[in-house]
A and B are shown apart, each in its own frame.
Chain A
């Protein structure tokens, strides 16, 4: 089929393509700037102003400082614990909840549903939550970051909706074969729910990876800090607590500059290497979420 294009359309196509290239540039450049600066010679970065297209010299000083930072490695490990353990708890609780809510013929279901829905619109707020965590003795323990958010209500409702769409016949035949409710969950529902499990697992994982506020209010013991909190100290507040004692060199203030860039790279690149492969799950997740909850 011949596609006829008017002059206006041709011009539009050109401008649109240029715009998309420009947009991609805007998205990529900040990170490129950070990457290039992180490998540059610290004193030259100090003196430099404006855009960077290529490293100013080549130096690994910043990375040496980053990897020599005792808290950074520790907090990275902590974050991995929070992500893995936290998501595991989240998934366990969410799957159970979603399964219960997806059952038919459950007399108390509507009451349970009311209990849950109310919490989506009304919450105690910051201070009551803080006092609760304190009263439970969770303050300054890792559990303070793992338990209070164990179920994301919206995620659970999304998962329930997915479970409900699984044909009932499959359960019925499992029941005839003598399967109990727990076996139906493990052997019928879960194997058929891989996409939603992946999507919600990713949501929880990314949430734990990015989280810092609960850590800021509940933790005082630095050895339990997640990486985002250490990043906040360095990037936002300009504090280098543990590092300043170790580095007494005269060029330190210059290294501080490139160190910030290096630390952004170290904290960001692992995720950026992975996300293009997860993209299809996220695409799917948005669609599942778009269904009525």
Chain B
């Protein structure tokens, strides 16, 4: 706009702004709720991040509390503390395992489902696999707790095959990750496949016709048409998944963990919560949070740069 104004040479910058405010006054009025929301609920807490560098005193509030000396006191406390290595390792490992097993699952499912020729059967399977997505996290974890119990469903299956008496699976460190990853796939495979199924639907049918004339079988069609056509979608998802590599959802981990499995189940987000709201160490908790935010931001920016380089889609 400013360019336009300059070429017309009629108005100064401030006249233009005044004109804009007048012409678009309704719009700016409509923008007020949104701006108030963002400033109050997003930017005020951002200022609260300074807590990470302060000695928080309840009576003095964030503003009045004195600065910590040295300023990195609480970061040092976290990094040298005994939970640092454990939480960083667990966060990364859980995320990595979820990526290795959870990422390809919906893609493979979409490909296999596409090979089902009967439409009613395909739609039914699709609807059924969506179902777990609509069960709340609390209920899913509640079911997991029931099934993992000493006399629960999973243990009877295990003892059926091994003949050994089962122990509560959630109380064993070796089972936490498999249970977490497995239930994640169960809950997400159908829902996450929607995008890939849509990508397959978008493929030009004439390509298949041409391939059939050339004598390509169904395997060849899948390999040389379907998969290459899905590739852009997969790559985008892959890159952004990499940006999430150090963030693991709080809720499911928190609901499934217990004191017996903390060595493998304590992740940065659960530790932040326990330090802060349970342990009342506000400054330390905010420092851990900030550490986590910065790492995630760095990963996301890297992922975005990659997305921009290798495809036309990027977040910003």
B125 touches A151 (CB 8 A): no
**B-side interface size class:** 35 or more
Enumerate chain B residues within 8 angstroms of A147, measured Cβ to Cβ.
Answer: 41
A114-141 CB mask vs B (1 if < 8 Å, else 0) is 0111010111111111111001000000
A264 touches B44 (CB 8 A): no
In the complex, what's the smallest C-beta–C-beta distance from B41 to chain A, in angstroms? Answer: 5
B207 at interface, CB cutoff 8 A: no
Stretch among B16-24, B75-83, B171-179 lining the A interface: B16-24
Please tell me the number of chain A residues within 8 Å of chain B, measured between CB atoms.
87
B45 touches A132 (CB 8 A): yes
Enumerate chain A residues within 8 angstroms of B20, measured Cβ to Cβ.
Answer: 105-108
Q: A20's contact among B116, B142, B156, by CB below 8 Å, is which?
A: B116
Enumerate chain B residues within 8 angstroms of A13, measured Cβ to Cβ.
Answer: 115, 117
Q: Please, could you name 11 A-B residue pairs with CB atoms under 8 Å apart, sorted by A?
A: A24-B124, A107-B17, A108-B20, A121-B300, A126-B272, A131-B51, A132-B45, A148-B41, A182-B26, A185-B30, A264-B142
A51 touches B153 (CB 8 A): yes
A287 touches B198 (CB 8 A): yes
Interface residues of B (CB under 8 A from A): 1, 16-17, 20-21, 24, 26-28, 30-31, 33-35, 37-38, 40-49, 51, 61-62, 109, 112-113, 115-117, 121, 124-125, 127-132, 134-139, 141-143, 145-147, 151, 153, 155-157, 160, 186, 189-190, 194-195, 198, 217-219, 233, 250-251, 255, 272-273, 276-277, 282, 285-286, 289-290, 293, 297, 300, 313, 315-316
B132 touches A27 (CB 8 A): yes
Q: B30's contact among A30, A31, A100, A212, by CB below 8 Å, is which?
A: A100
Interface residues of A (CB under 8 A from B): 6, 8-9, 12-13, 16-17, 19-20, 23-24, 26-28, 30-31, 33-34, 49-51, 92-93, 96-97, 99-100, 103, 105-108, 112, 115-117, 119, 121-132, 135, 147-148, 150-151, 180-182, 185, 206, 209-210, 212-213, 217, 228, 231-232, 234-236, 260-261, 264, 267-268, 271-272, 275-276, 279, 282-283, 286-287, 290, 292-293
